[in-house]
Amino acid sequence: MPKTFRVVILASTRGTDFSAMLEEKNAGKLKGVEFVGLVSNKPCLAAEKAEAANIPTFVLDAKSKDFQDKLLATVKELQPDLICLVGYMRILREDFCKAFENKILNIHPSLLPKYAGGMDLNVYEEVLKNKETETGMSIHLVTPVVDGGAIICQKSVAIADGETPESLKEKVQQLEKKWYPEVIRWFRDGKIYF
């Protein structure tokens, strides 16, 4: 029997991209992939979705002084082949990045290196303020340098006249929902390796 490809999700928000991953899994498009845990730094909709799907869910208190140590210990125990950040609104400590080097993915709502370090609607506001003609999303490896890891997948969308940060976010999230599961398949199938 082939080895299961173990994926851990780190999330802090609604889990829009996580929902897309679950839909692909339920449709049989992520064969061999098992979501072995979702770890959050606070109660959130993504954690509720994981619980509803019977995925082990861990909500850690980000305000506790040993939060980073608990995060590292919890994820190590889950023995992931890949860690996917999905709206995870925390910076990972260097020892965490090193413990799972080349196994942590993040999705960023811009065409990196543009707008690195920004978050959510702030990124779209900056994109519009700077009169960009296109934007998009980047799936990249997580390193101790915020948004500085190797880009694995990058897709763009055109910016229409009258676009708002909210409408732009919706367009970019459509790309994210399509491509994040695809990148998981690339790692599962050994198409990306280090």
Q: Which residues have CB under 8 Å from 95's CB, separation 6+?
A: 72
Question: Does the pLDDT of residue 2 top 80, yes or no?
Answer: no
140 is known as an active-site residue: no
Count CA atoms within 13 Å of residue 92 on its CB side: 33
- pLDDT tens-place string over residues 20-33: 999 999 999 999 99
Asked if 34 contacts 80 with a C-beta cutoff of 8 angstroms, the reply is: no
Give the number of other CB atoms < 10 A from CB of residue 96: 21
Q: What domains, with CATH codes, occur in the chain?
A: 5-109+137-152+178-188 (3.40.50.170)
SS3 (DSSP) at 8: strand
Helix then strand then coil, in percent of the chain rounded to 5, is 35, 25, 40
Residue with tokens 């299961």: 4
Residue % of the chain over a pLDDT of 90: 93
Question: Does the pLDDT of residue 111 top 70, yes or no?
Answer: yes
> Which run of H or E residues covers position 59?
strand 57-59
pLDDT of residue 194: 67
Question: Does the pLDDT of residue 37 top 50, yes or no?
Answer: yes
Among 25, 49, 103, 108, the active-site one is 108
Asked if 36 contacts 56 with a C-beta cutoff of 8 angstroms, the reply is: yes
- Residue 94's nearest CA partner among 131, 68, 65 is 68
Give the number of other CB atoms < 10 A from CB of residue 167: 14
- pLDDT tens-place string over residues 53-110: 999 999 999 999 999 999 999 999 999 999 999 999 899 999 999 999 999 999 999 9
